[in-house]
Amino acid sequence: MLEKKPIIFLLLATATILIGTMITMVAPFKWINDPKLKIAEVKPYTPLQLEGRDIYIREGCNNCHTQTVRPLLADVERYGDYSKVGEFVYDQPFLWGSRRTGPDLARIGGKYPDAWHYKHMADPQSMVPRSNMPKYAFLQRPLDTALTSRKMKALHFPYTPADIEALKGKTELDAMVAYMQKLGSDIPWRKAAQAAVIGELKNPYQEDKTVLAEGKAIYDKECAQCHGKELQGEIGPSLADIDKPDAEVFRITYGGLPAGGMPAFGDALGKDKVWKVVNYIKYHQRR
């Protein structure tokens, strides 16, 4: 029995632990650093984005927001293709996280225009009424760039003195927004995941006033933050006199606009609710 031979038992236990360590820890490091896993489109952070990332860490944002899309149906349907190793090649340390008090941010870049992020950071509840995120209006203070050059050199990121000089006059909020717009923007996932609307479209609720109340409720919850309570426009353009047919308004709402514009609402709302919003917008114009 091995327990009666302590030396042999100790040697075998040590060998087992070393083999297990090689398989579970050393080998994955080699796989992660495999050049074949890198994604050519993923670029290093600019100085402004890097400062924003450091502020993100400083404020503890990673305690409430993950930055990894898991290969689960619920994640892929909501956020797009699952995260790949190559997306995080310039993240030191990585910010995958494990808890979602707020939504995942791995694909937030380009989903909303800059103005949306500025307003959301200053007053989250003005954009997402049910949010429990604190206000970060204090980030409008000047950006401290004393260590920027040293950080860029330590991370081996390409930069120029002109890049560093361009940070003068920027605020911490500018840096945070730049970082938000970077996340996931190098991966061409949104174009592939964007809902497609094909064929002739006809408003099933045209002239149907019974759905106006529901359409208004959906608009107030999902659209008013950017287009105003009375469709007067704010972050997004005014809809009070939008000169587009019902089908075109539906296509834009359902499928969204290119990066930096309006996000798609097709997957979140479905066709029926989108049509009710269109009906409310068109009716509001005729009042």
3-state secondary structure of 245: coil
Distance from C-alpha of 224 to C-alpha of 146, rounded to nearest angstrom: 40
Q: Assign 171 to helix, strand or coil.
A: strand
Residue 249, phi then psi, degrees to nearest 5: -65, -40
What whole-number distance in Å separates Cα of residue 166 and Cα of residue 242?
38
Q: Concatenate the DSSP letters of all residues of 258-277 into one string.
A: STTSPPP-HHHHHHHHHHHH
Are the beta carbons of 79 and 106 closer than 8 angstroms?
A: yes
Alpha helix (H) ranges present in the chain? 6-21, 27-32, 47-58, 73-79, 114-122, 124-127, 148-154, 161-165, 172-182, 189-193, 212-222, 224-227, 246-255, 266-286
pLDDT tops 70 at residue 1: no
The candidate with the shortest Cα–Cα distance to 195, out of 270, 247, 254, is 254
Residue 118: predicted pLDDT = 95
Q: How far apart are alpha carbons 282 and 220 in whole angstroms? A: 15
pLDDT at 214: 94
Per-residue model confidence (pLDDT) at position 139:
96
69 and 105 Cβ atoms separated by less than 8 Å:
no
| CB crowding 15-40: b at 16 or more within 10 Å, else e | eeeeeeeeeeeeeeeeeeeeeeeeee
249 and 285 in contact (C-beta within 8 Å)? no
pLDDT tens digits along 266-279: 878 888 999 999 99
**Which structure tokens are listed for 65?**
């927001």
Q: What is the pTM of this model?
A: 0.78
* CA gap 53, 175 in Å, rounded: 8
Q: pLDDT digit string (tens) for 45-64?
A: 999 999 999 999 999 999 99
Domains of the chain, earliest start first: 47-192 (1.10.760.10), 209-286 (1.10.760.10)
Residue 189 has pLDDT above 50, yes or no: yes
Residues in the chain: 287
